Amino acid sequence: MSEQMAIVTTGLTKSYGAVPALRGVDLVVNKGEIFGFLGPNGAGKTTTIRCLLDLIRPQTGAIRVLGLDPQVDPVAVRARTGYLPGELNLETNLTAEQALRYFNDLRGNRIDWRFINDLAQRLQLDLSIPIKNLSKGNKQKVGIIQALMPRPELLLLDEPTAGLDPLMQQEVYRLLKEARAAGATVFFSSHIISEVEAIADRIAIIRQGVIVEEAEPHQLISMVLRRVRIRFREPVNARPLAELPGVSLLAENELHITVQVEGELDGLIKALAVYPVSDLETERPSLEEIFLAYYEGEKVREDGQNVG
């Protein structure tokens, strides 16, 4: 394995009884990048992450994390990794500080407590409150702090911003970017496209236990469809807009039109310059729509190849 790779999985399969969770996951994450792992619920994101830490064992396939095999040397892998589970559960009778001190003890009591206080301050978390009295969002902050506090080489974060308000989400993005700037690799799962777009250098999409795409976020966005609603100040002939490359008309009346745009909006925006536009709304695609767009594209390509 190259020194430049933080995570490499090859042909990873995992089933829970008769339910296949992973069906041959091949993944490469380079050191020093923020890697977004996208997929709908049940796609296999959590299962993949838990295999990386040897919490569960795949039936077949190989895993290397920071050059180590987690099944052979799990303690060494975990010593260099910070992990935030997707379903975060903490001992409820402890305060946030006691929970963090316990995790610090498990890491040999080597963590700089000033850094923990700094993280708590940035995330606006009162460490003296018992876990049982914390809201879901505040519990998530405890989880984020425990993952970041050892300043690990690799961060494995399963939906890190779940339950956080938008301001805190932005703070978490900043923390992750700072971690990357300090040399860490960040591998995080999400089903929120805007989150991935905001921070990821590269992404992989997993669906039904298989990686269906690896790309940079802008490549992903360019392959998706989005709806644009345009309202005009006066009746216009909007037909020419529908004839632009990648644009198709969905609905129209005298004062507004709705079009579907594939890829970037640049062409449409420039064409609109000559129209009396009073309002313009774009609807970002959901992940499911991206999948649909992606699969429709795949299907068209396959059909084309078959015909050809």
Partner 1 sequence: MWAEFKHALRRLRGRIIGWSLGVGLYSLMMLFMYDAVLEIMGIEELLAAYPPEVMAFIGVTDIFAIMTPPGYLDAYFFGYMTVIIGIFIVGAGASMLVGDEERGVLDLVLAHPISRASLFASRALALVVATMLILLVCWLCWALPSSQTQLRLTWLEFLLPFFTLLAQLLLFGALALLLSFLLPSARLASMISGALLVGNYLLLGLYRLNDNLEPFIRLTPLYYYQGGQATGGLNWGWLGGVMAVTLLLTTGAWLLFQQRDIRVGGEGGWHIPRLAQAIGLGERPPHTAREETG
Q: Could you list the residues that contact partner 1 (CB under 8 A)?
A: 16-21, 41-47, 50, 53, 55-57, 74-76, 78-79, 81, 83, 85-91, 102-103, 105-109, 143, 146, 209
Asked if 70 and 30 touch (Cβ cutoff 8 Å), the reply is: no
Q: How far apart are CB 85 and partner 1 at their closest, in Å?
A: 5
Q: Give the side-chain half-sphere CA count within 13 A for 84.
A: 27
Q: How far apart are CB 105 and partner 1 at their closest, in Å?
A: 4
Q: How far apart are CB 227 and partner 1 at their closest, in Å?
A: 29
Q: What angle do CA 44, 85, 208 make, to 5 degrees?
A: 5
Query: Inter-axis angle of helices 113-122 and 136-148, to 10 degrees?
Result: 140
Q: How far apart are CB 209 and partner 1 at their closest, in Å?
A: 7
What's the distance, Cα to Cα, between the start and end of the chain in Å? 39
Between 50 and 64, whose beta carbon lies closer to partner 1? 50
Q: What is the rounded distance in angstroms from the CA atom of residue 227 to the CA atom of residue 259?
A: 6
Q: How far apart are CB 152 and partner 1 at their closest, in Å?
A: 10
Between 23 and 31, whose beta carbon lies closer to partner 1? 23
Question: How far is C-alpha 33 from the chain's CA centre?
Answer: 13
Between 15 and 30, whose beta carbon lies closer to partner 1? 15
Q: Which two tokens stand for residue 232?
A: 């005009």
Between 86 and 263, whose beta carbon lies closer to partner 1? 86
Between 48 and 225, whose beta carbon lies closer to partner 1? 48
